[in-house]
Structure 1
């Protein structure tokens, strides 16, 4: 097969029967907006946003349980763009779906004070679940989010059958070759496999291109096989235009509840830029006026117009707001029924949502008599954790294989993990409280970040001081 034949095969459109002409136009609009935004500012990453347009559009318009009018709705699915350099992959979907970004924000990409900085920033742009950019951190922290979702369910609704609780939701990730190459994702992905996180779905954008062009110069292993070895459910979808395959893979992933899912999506970066697609030049720089115009002609847009969005296209995609409101209303009925049946748990949920501590919690803090010999800080810390375990059920954490040294285990607490993770020394339960990171300090830091960002629990981790420098 020649390169041209391979590209042609990987860019053949395959869509479900209900995929309309407006859906096709919306996806192509994403490509044009990505090319225009980077061209206007003169720098950025257009290629991935162009080739991932069908995937990102499918997620935000057909898959994610989110409400653009209430971005922090606790029952929502989470989406993490681990490939944060391709921020337009997220920004354009937030614009189309009605999260608050407008066309002027896309035109202000990577400029001071804009809502569209070069990399997505949490607390800055509505709809961004976490700050990403340093490759690997998004995927690693998403593992923490998936763990937090399971612990949250364990606190509030552990008796419900899988998939029936108002606390059930999924964590979706888009990761790049660079994310996969980073060591922190290897650590975190190994933990995710051990934890059997069936609520985590990762899309790997397998485009075989980085800034230095063909990734073969630095990446040779079978990534899908590596994730199978980690204990993940692995699927491969050929072609970024294969929406039918993407949707089928997501359905398959959701059906596997005892493994995290890894979906390798073989794409052609920069498609359909005629000269620069499938090259490193499409990765991290503007395509150039001539190439941008050619993209528009190929897709049926006016080459002389910038940031073209048809009125019927944006009206079509903004229906996501109405769908999101309906999904949240349906969830609210389920949540209210749970609240009526579980008043004590509802009270705990309200307290955690408000980020409040219970009245009198400090009375449980231990104290030590004055002693010239002092008390080791690690012992004092361990005693404090155990003392607070009853009054602060939201508190949980552990260590990177140092629990016996730094006393990070609460007395009597089960380990967090599937029952087959249990050992002679540790009892394991899916909703347990003691975290075991193994000797994976980097993943520990990222996972704790993900747990904290997901909410509503409060995580802790412990290691030696010099290792904390290493983690940074």
Structure 2
């Protein structure tokens, strides 16, 4: 490499080492080893514009090994993203800084995804590549490739060990996502030592089996070889590519390179000094970078940014020639206005017959799709059961990227992270679906949806012991409490068609909060008192005749009709009960104290909650004097109606619980 390239690579190393040392916390190993690959990619091959980080047709770069965040922060600073200053670099890992310990989407300009849990960045990159493929099929016209960009993801041995990476790359190979390029920082070191203690597989052969082109760069400091590998990857128009780059963790630090101690702890002041001397760094002080290096990065940024200028001219011509596509583009990227649909009688019509809320959801999904063409998504091989197939929308495949139904296979973890990647890419509104008991496989990824404020819709069906004959392995008990505990996540467990319509309306209108629709397998009756007030999270669905009820029964989902039946039994005993439907605790908590007290008056302490899941969280509403009719174990195998009787979910038992608190 020539001198300015070498200095520019070493600037990444030095800034990373200095920042981690000042913070007395961080991971220097990856930035020191992977700096050449990152520099080569960002400076010569990746289309990006620091002056407009949100340019729609930019190439995406995801650092899946988020612990190496200083690599990314150094690049963003040196390229001039968002005026990320040297003071920001100095404040690495400090409270309220723009340089937190792991990259956070929406917090720092230029960060494409929140990463940290290893492997998730890999799957989010697959999602971005799927979004690119779909949008290119929707919008591109001959001579006008207005959607035409690559997704690059960098990760190490840890990402490759995580099961989610196998899930997502198996799918990527099946789909032939040729604009996905994986940079594998292979240094054979993890926290506990050599990866050989737990990881000896041939990763290249694994990726060949997935259907990837595989390329190896033997010297991680050879910019020319890295560059040639990237171009070879881009030249393959049929397959995604894996570029294995053999690096030395902690490169340049004589006492640390190649050792596990370089991974996750500061080098130490003496070792930082030794690093600078060993690589021939000309500056003596901390955080000092020669002006010629800054000038080089500025020049490269301008050159890279020229790609957007070229694209803007192409896009202007495209819009002039295809005005209908410009209108469609604006709606895809800025959102569809579904006000007319949500105010229509068709949307809120209540059928007479009983219906499973999963079936209701499927009908609503198809209705919404008619008004929202950029709605995409699918299920982890359960679409017929989840009722998530969108009619006449086509299946997304290697042969048809225009399809809106995504088939994720039995890959819940990858599905959820991929869906996050689709949401992050922009232009599409995604959903993901599975059985509620398997939401355990989605939880870490749903957590990142919440953290990144992505309005992803989760469709969780088969929501309770109502699953029936499949037995306790398939009957969710604790899952609802887990999702209710998740910050910035809204759970909806509707009781009928009206509440399911409210749930979907909320999910579609949400701009920064993911929504979980928790739906039944079994048919539920349509309840006369159900209403749009479900959007308040909790409301009176069947009131007492008295201003002050004798007692209150609170329920969600399938247990609401049960609560109403119990109310009728209690009326025969002269007990006047109010029934409150609570489809969403989160939305109820957002209401005013005045409203909450009107639904659950503080003066009435005789309360019973009913839910065929864990009681965790319900005592907030029933208090120390109240009672919860709930599940205490994992369920059993048998017909659903028999299970509800066995575990006490009968009108008689609920009525008895009310009498117990009187």
Query: TM-score, normalised to structure 2's length?
Result: 0.65
Verify the 8 A CA contact 1:352 1:456 in the aligned structure 2.
Answer: yes
Question: Per-residue CA shift, 1:71-115, capped at 9, x if unaligned?
Answer: 001010000000100001111011111102121111111111111
* Backbone CA RMSD of aligned residues: 1.6
Q: Is it true that 1:456 corresponds to 2:427 in the alignment?
A: yes
Q: CA deviation at 1:359?
A: 5.7
Q: Rate the CA distance shift 1:237–1:325 in 2: closer, same or farther, 3 A.
A: closer
Q: Which residue of 2 aligns with 1:167?
A: 147
Q: CA deviation at 1:239?
A: 1.3
Q: CA deviation at 1:292?
A: 1.1
Secondary structure at the aligned position of 1:463 is classed as strand
Q: CA deviation at 1:384?
A: 1.4
Q: Which residue of 2 aligns with 1:276?
A: 256
Question: Per-residue CA shift, 1:232-287, capped at 9, x if unaligned?
Answer: 11111111101111111111111111111111101001111111100001110011
Secondary structure at the aligned position of 1:174 is classed as strand
Question: Per-residue CA shift, 1:352-374, capped at 9, x if unaligned?
Answer: 22234256343495455453x52
**Which of 87, 98, 111 pairs up with 1:128?**
111
Q: 1:342-361 to 2 correspondence within 5 Å?
A: 342-358=322-338, 360-361=340-341
Q: Which residue of 1 aligns with 2:552?
A: none
Verify the 8 A CA contact 2:47 2:305 in the aligned structure 1.
Answer: no
Q: Which residue of 1 aligns with 2:621?
A: none
**Which of 47, 58, 68 pairs up with 1:65?**
47
Structure 1 CA distance, aligned partners of 2:339 and 2:333?
A: 16
Q: 1:226-265 to 2 correspondence within 5 Å?
A: 226-265=206-245
Q: Which residue of 2 aligns with 1:411?
A: 391
Structure 1 CA distance, aligned partners of 2:442 and 2:77?
A: 36
Verify the 8 A CA contact 1:68 1:320 in the aligned structure 2.
Answer: no
Verify the 8 A CA contact 1:416 1:431 in the aligned structure 2.
Answer: yes
Q: Is it true that 1:293 corresponds to 2:293 in the alignment?
A: no
Q: CA deviation at 1:26?
A: 1.1
Q: Rate the CA distance shift 1:274–1:382 in 2: closer, same or farther, 3 A.
A: same
Q: CA deviation at 1:391?
A: 1.9
- Please say which structure displays the higher CA radius of gyration: 2
> For structure 1, which runs of at least 5 residues remain unmatched after alignment?
1-14, 420-428
Structure 2 CA distance, aligned partners of 1:301 and 1:245?
A: 24
Q: Which residue of 2 aligns with 1:52?
A: 34
Verify the 8 A CA contact 1:175 1:203 in the aligned structure 2.
Answer: yes
Moved more, 211-220 or 359-368: 359-368
Q: Which residue of 1 aligns with 2:21?
A: 39
Q: CA deviation at 1:390?
A: 2.6
Q: Which residue of 2 aligns with 1:193?
A: 173
Verify the 8 A CA contact 1:97 1:319 in the aligned structure 2.
Answer: no
Q: Is it true that 1:470 corresponds to 2:441 in the alignment?
A: yes
Structure 1 CA distance, aligned partners of 2:349 and 2:207?
A: 48
Moved more, 255-264 or 26-35: 26-35
Secondary structure at the aligned position of 1:390 is classed as helix
Q: Which residue of 1 aligns with 2:102?
A: 119
Structure 1 CA distance, aligned partners of 2:304 and 2:233?
A: 22
Structure 2 CA distance, aligned partners of 1:299 and 1:310?
A: 15
Q: Is it true that 1:94 corresponds to 2:65 in the alignment?
A: no
Structure 2 CA distance, aligned partners of 1:172 and 1:133?
A: 17
Structure 2 CA distance, aligned partners of 1:394 and 1:148?
A: 11
Q: Rate the CA distance shift 1:302–1:327 in 2: closer, same or farther, 3 A.
A: closer
Secondary structure at the aligned position of 1:117 is classed as coil
Q: Which residue of 2 aligns with 1:425?
A: none
Verify the 8 A CA contact 2:46 2:304 in the aligned structure 1.
Answer: no
Moved more, 379-388 or 143-152: 379-388
Verify the 8 A CA contact 2:283 2:289 in the aligned structure 1.
Answer: no
Q: CA deviation at 1:208?
A: 0.2
Structure 2 CA distance, aligned partners of 1:200 and 1:403?
A: 26
Q: Rate the CA distance shift 1:440–1:418 in 2: closer, same or farther, 3 A.
A: same
Q: CA deviation at 1:326?
A: 2.0
Question: Per-residue CA shift, 1:278-329, capped at 9, x if unaligned?
Answer: 0001110011112111111112235852112011111111223322442211
Question: Per-residue CA shift, 1:13-62, capped at 9, x if unaligned?
Answer: xx4xxxx4211111112211111111111110111101111111112211
Q: Which residue of 1 aligns with 2:121?
A: 138
Question: Per-residue CA shift, 1:106-142, capped at 9, x if unaligned?
Answer: 1111111111100000011000001000101101011
**Which of 162, 166, 184 pairs up with 1:182?**
162
> For structure 2, which runs of at least 5 residues remain unmatched after alignment?
444-662
Flag the structure with more relative contact order, 1 or 2, with Cα contacts below 8 A and sequence separation at least 6: 1
Verify the 8 A CA contact 2:172 2:240 in the aligned structure 1.
Answer: yes
Secondary structure at the aligned position of 2:122 is classed as helix
